[in-house]
Structure 1
Amino acid sequence: MNFGVSDVCAEHDPGDRHPENPDRIRAIKRALQKRHGIEYVTAEPADEDDARAVHDADYVAEIREFCEDGGGSWDPDTIAVEATWRAALASAGLAMWTADAALDGGTGRATPFSLGRPPGHHAVADDAMGFCFLNNAAVASQHAIDAHDVERVAVFDWDVHHGNGTQDIFYDRDDVFYGSIHEDGLYPGTGDIDEIGTGDGEGATMNAPLPAGADDADYRLLFDEAFAPAIESFDPDLFLVSAGFDAHRHDPISRLHVSTDGYGMLTTQVRDLAERCDAALGFVLEGGYSLDTLSEGVGMVHEVFDGFVPEGPSSDPSDEAADVLADVREAHGFGSK
């Protein structure tokens, strides 16, 4: 794969005890050194116009000035330093590069994956939260629409936390589909099944909150029977994955049980779906806070595009996941299956 990187992203350092720290990218790069076919690409940072395309202008000015004044605790979880604004622009720029590279024909071993931080999917139009300052996937989606005349973008979020920011930014629009599988009841407490969009965007948001303990088989069921048909019907030109790796069974801040092979399974599913939709495909890093499982997960995504075929789950989906599937399908008018 082609991985987008920026040294500026390491300058955003909320402290060693903060789970979202520069060691995350260092661990990923150490793990990728052991693999073949890796290419690193640098990209121009986003500018404030790019940020304002999805964020309120007053918020963009406020967070920039907050960082320029030395930063601090924006909220109890979201910590900024002076370099955070530059890092946020660099991270958003890497996500824009992902969209550009995918739409310019980056497929197979050249599929793009932006390794930017801070992450983005919790950042709403007018606020930072959940370690996020600019919504990278949203900036990239809007950039694709504005710069490439893309008509429709699908964002599938497999981070364990619901991407409330991405959902909110596009909630009333019909040109961006947002879908999320996440742990029920986890931060930020959004992402209920009945959150399906409003106005022109009704039906273009899909959420599947899974109970603690959900595993690879449950993810496969929900993706195959709910998200894949919805996205295929949406017919996107660009398919972005908000790729968090904190649903892993060994991540310290979640209770889901996705395995490393499970991330390979998910990668295979989104790759095959993108091919069926004839959509450009790219990945944007979100969460993942065990350095070992984060780096293994990113490495697994690469291995799939390098020819590895992961094993599927050996167990059947849980009854709880089947119930979630039935409710999701009902909310979106799929009928029974």
Structure 2
Amino acid sequence: MRFGYSETCLDHDTGPRHPETADRLRAIRRGLAKRHGVEYVDAAPAEKSTVTAIHDADYVDEFESFCRGGGGNWDPDTVAVEESWVAALASAGLAEWGARSALAGDDGRDTPFSLGRPPGHHAVVDDAMGFCFFNNAAVAAQAVIDDGLAERVAIFDWDVHHGNGTQDIFYDRDDVFYASIHEDGLYPGTGEVEETGADGAEGTNLNVPLRAGAGDADYVYSFEETIEPAVEEFDPDLFIVSAGFDAHRHDPISRMRVSTEGYAMLTERVRDLCENTDAALSFVLEGGYGLDTLSEGVAIVHETFDGRIAMDPDEEPDQKNVDLVDEIRDVHGLGSK
């Protein structure tokens, strides 16, 4: 894979006890150093005008001023320093690079994966939250739409937390499809099955709030039975994965049971779906707070594109999640199993 990476993102200093630290990127780099075929690209930061195509201009100005003043706690969880402004622009720029590269034909072993921080999927139009300041995936999607490179973009979020920001930004848009598999009831408490889109965009938002303890079989089954047919129907030009790795069974802040191999299973199915729908594909880093499991997760995505064949789940999905999938298929008109 080709990994978007900028040393600037290391300068976003959240403090010694914060889970979202620069050590996350350092751990990923160490893990990838052992793998074949890794390429790094230091992309240009996003322009402020590109960010304000998604985020309220007054909020963006306020965040810039906040950083120039030395930063601090934006909220109890979301921390900035002076350098966070340029790091946030760099992170958004990496996501934009990934989307543009994918649409320009980078695929297979050249599939782009942007390794930026701060992450983005909790950032709403006019506010930061959940470690996130700019919604990187949303900025990337809007940039390629505005430039006429794509008419329809799908964003699939496999972070353990629901991407409330991405959902809110595109909730009434029929040119962006957002789908999330996340832990039910976890921060920020959004992402219900009934949240399907609004104002003519009904059906372009799909949530799979799996119960705590869900593992590989539950994730794979949910993807195959809900997201895959919905994306096939939407027929996007670009498919962006908001790739958090905090649903891993050893991540310190979730109760899910996805294995490293489970991320290979999801990656393989995402890749096959994009091949079948002729959609360009890019990845954007979101969460993941166990340094070993995060680095293993990113590495297994890379290895999947480097020719490794994923295993199949060794168990059946939990019945409560099978029932949830049936409900989602009914709500979205995907038919009964």
Q: Please state if 1:238 is matched with 2:238.
A: yes
Distance in 1 (alpha carbons) for counterparts of 2:47 and 2:69: 19
Shift of 1:331: 1.2
Which residue in the other structure is 1:24 paired with? 24
Q: Please state if 1:175 is matched with 2:175.
A: yes
Q: Please state if 1:71 is matched with 2:67.
A: no
Q: Which runs of 4+ in 1 moved over 6 A?
A: none
Distance in 1 (alpha carbons) for counterparts of 2:7 and 2:110: 21
Distance in 2 (alpha carbons) for counterparts of 1:62 and 1:331: 40
After superposition, residues 83-122 of structure 1 pair within 5 angstroms as: 83-122=83-122
Q: Does the residue aligned with 1:241 lie in a helix, a strand or coil?
A: strand
Sequence identity percentage = 66
After superposition, residues 1-337 of structure 1 pair within 5 angstroms as: 1-337=1-337
- TM-score, normalised to structure 2, is 0.99
Q: Aligned AA for 1:19?
A: P
Distance in 2 (alpha carbons) for counterparts of 1:216 and 1:34: 25
Assess if the C-alpha contact under 8 Å between 2:88 and 2:117 holds in 1: yes
Instruction: Tell me the alpha carbon deviations over residues 263-292 of structure 1, each in whole angstroms, 9 at most, x when there is no partner.
Output: 000000000000011000000000000000
Shift of 1:16: 2.1
Distance in 2 (alpha carbons) for counterparts of 1:124 and 1:53: 13
Q: Does the residue aligned with 1:156 lie in a helix, a strand or coil?
A: strand
Q: What is the number of residues matched between the two proteins? A: 337
Distance in 1 (alpha carbons) for counterparts of 2:229 and 2:199: 21
Q: Aligned AA for 1:118?
A: P
Shift of 1:334: 1.9
Instruction: Tell me the alpha carbon deviations over residues 283-316 of structure 1, each in whole angstroms, 9 at most, x when there is no partner.
Output: 0000000000000000000000000011111000
Q: Which runs of 5+ in 1 are unaligned?
A: none
Assess if the C-alpha contact under 8 Å between 2:242 and 2:286 holds in 1: yes
Distance in 2 (alpha carbons) for counterparts of 1:33 and 1:7: 16
Shift of 1:147: 1.7
Assess if the C-alpha contact under 8 Å between 2:230 and 2:334 holds in 1: no
Assess if the C-alpha contact under 8 Å between 2:103 and 2:149 holds in 1: no
Q: Does the residue aligned with 2:155 lie in a helix, a strand or coil?
A: strand
Q: Aligned AA for 2:33?
A: Q
Distance in 2 (alpha carbons) for counterparts of 1:200 and 1:164: 20
- TM-score, normalised to structure 1, is 0.99
Instruction: Tell me the alpha carbon deviations over residues 195-225 of structure 1, each in whole angstroms, 9 at most, x when there is no partner.
Output: 0000121100000000111000001111001
Distance in 2 (alpha carbons) for counterparts of 1:143 and 1:223: 27
Shift of 1:128: 0.1
Instruction: Tell me the alpha carbon deviations over residues 244-276 of structure 1, each in whole angstroms, 9 at most, x when there is no partner.
Output: 000000000000000000000000000000001
Distance in 1 (alpha carbons) for counterparts of 2:279 and 2:270: 10
Shift of 1:149: 3.4
Distance in 2 (alpha carbons) for counterparts of 1:22 and 1:173: 34
Q: Which runs of 5+ in 2 are unaligned?
A: none
Shift of 1:83: 0.5
